[in-house]
């Protein structure tokens, strides 16, 4: 018996959304680097890599369920920002949108009693709590900095220390 068509489509949509996140964060990273903030750019590149890993977790899951992977198209990110705060606010908005999509997917999975998907989706639910909290903290720090050069530089140096799999810098 093949996997449920609605679930297959919803999982594929989530794969595309995660790749779109990675694409968006690469665009944000480029803006930050061009504006003299290599530490923030580094952090955002790491975030892009995490999104790619999220996409690949779902990609492998669809294949493991004997589903078909069908990647969707990705629109070009908008990169008209004035400040690093604008950039991270965009990131936070993106994480909130991803959380909403994960919640919708979770609802569909429970409605269709596809319980085999729950462990993976539980992982994503927890991951989104962390991702939103981390992005929110950076937004809060940047708001406090208020565009003051010295403080921005300190935040930039702190975010430069992020290593793979580490969200806090």
Nearest alpha-carbon partner for 39 in 164, 147, 155, 150 = 155
Percentages of the chain per state (helix, strand, coil), in multiples of 5: 75, 0, 25
Cβ distance to ligand FEO smaller for residue 71 or 144: 71
- Out of 18, 24, 89, 156, which residue is the one contacting ligand FEO (CB under 6 A)? 18
Minimal distance, residue 41 CB to ligand FEO, in Å: 17
Length of the chain in terms of residues written? 169
Query: Binding marks (x or -) toward ligand FEO, 49..68, rule CB under 6 A?
Result: --x--x--------------
Between residue 130 and residue 149, which ones bind ligand FEO under the rule CB under 6 A? 131
Distance CA 83, CA 32 (A): 9
- Out of 85, 95, 134, 169, which residue is the one contacting ligand FEO (CB under 6 A)? 95
Contact residues: ligand FEO, CB under 6 A: 18, 21, 51, 54, 95, 98, 131
């Amino acid at each position: 018996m093949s996997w449920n068509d609605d679930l297959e489509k919803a999982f594929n949509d989530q794969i595309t959304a995660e790749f779109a996140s990675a694409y968006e964060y690469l665009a944000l990273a480029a803006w930050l680097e061009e504006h003299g903030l290599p530490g923030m750019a580094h952090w955002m590149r790491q975030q892009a890599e995490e999104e790619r890993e999220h996409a690949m977790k779902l990609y492998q899951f669809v294949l493991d369920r004997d589903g078909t992977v069908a990647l969707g198209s990705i629109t070009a990110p908008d990169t008209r920002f004035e400040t690093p705060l604008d950039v991270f606010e965009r990131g936070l908005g993106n994480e909130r949108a991803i959380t909403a999509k994960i919640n919708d997917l979770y609802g569909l999975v429970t409605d269709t009693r596809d319980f085999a998907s729950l462990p993976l989706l539980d992982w994503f639910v927890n991951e989104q709590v962390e991702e939103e909290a981390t992005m929110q903290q950076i937004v809060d720090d940047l708001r406090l900095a208020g565009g003051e050069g010295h403080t921005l530089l300190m935040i930039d140096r702190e975010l430069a220390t992020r290593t793979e799999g580490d969200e806090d810098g």
